[in-house]
Structure 1
Amino acid sequence: MNNKGFTLIELIVAMLIVLIVMLGLLKGILEYNKFSIRAKMKDRATEIAQQMTNYIESLPYVSEDSGTQSILYANNSSWESIQCSSTNCSFFQDEVDFYSPGTPTVTNPLGSLSSNLRLYPSADTVDALCSCRGSYCPTDLPICTYEGFSDRRIYSAINIARLTDDYGREAGKSALVMVWYFEPFTDDYKIITAIVIKEKK
């Protein structure tokens, strides 16, 4: 009589193969989950940048000499008279500081923020309002710190520049929206920027 079956060694080998396949699948699922969370973080930051852009666009225009409470004042004196022609505005290519919130780190995301910022996060807590630097700050300010994913937060700030024509007359304002965060699992620093030009009418 021929008794055929699996030996103990064959069973162990089969179990090891199944275990290796399962570990591979588990790793793939975990990596996909991390990728999905990073994608959600980017989408949320993009959404916040759009919200801040809409906020700027909704504000009534305020001239630099009006004295009206508004965030639409240039906080940096070197940005109070930016001359732009109809074809060129070198300020936006040359002024690196305008595009920088400072040097935040993953352990101190609100540390070393630029002193040029008109609006910036007041605290590293979810739903913290913006702080305003400079003159004629309004009392009603938007949120600057938002909840992200995997215990990470998303931060926003705004810079303002006053644009003038060839004769030095105020022609408009440029508002730069900056949104930054540190990517979950990689700690990579990410920043999204958007410019809103408000013409004086």
Structure 2
Amino acid sequence: MDLSELHGALASKSYDKIGELCDELLIQVASRGIAFQEEWPYAIHLIGHIYANDLNSARFLWKSIPEGIKKSRPEIMAAWKIGQCLWTRDYAGVYGAVRGFEWSPEAVALVTAFAENYTNKMFNLLVSAYSTISVADAAHCLGMSENEATNYVLQHGWTLDSSSAMLIVKKPSITKEQKLDSSKLQRLTEYVFHLEH
């Protein structure tokens, strides 16, 4: 079984393509009638779908993995734990699932990249949803200690009201670009031309 394309995608950090690539490779291998289940990189495959936020594909993959393989390979169970937490919107549980397992050398970079993206996503969610938030709630959502979360958000321009332990969210400045529609410009030109003549 040739997984060089998968190893290339992992090496080049093309993590958003891992799930789809694994799906294609799995179909190719299965269509040739090759026995692959024992050596298939199910954990990487699951994490690839999770990284791409394709929870439906991750769930269907999980259901297709033979029970014996699930039980004999703890990394598959650990990958699915992340998926379960995402599925049930247990945001803090995602961090626990990521940190609660010693990932293989093949999976560690992918899981780390997922965790960084997830933290960025959660941070952006907090920015869009709150104008103030308690330090404890921010820490819970970001999967960090209160000190780590405070330092993290302060680096992003938030401020801390230490008397109330509340963080004041810095909203990004909104710049509107006015787009010029050429058809409107043409009609305006014709109108002005008509008025002048």
**TMscore range, shorter length:** under 0.3
Relative contact order higher in (CA < 8 Å, ≥ 6 apart): 1
TM-score normalized with structure 2 length? 0.22
Q: Specify which structure has the higher proportion of helix.
A: 2
Q: Which protein has the larger Cα radius of gyration, Structure 1 or Structure 2?
A: 1
Q: Specify which structure has the higher proportion of strand.
A: 1
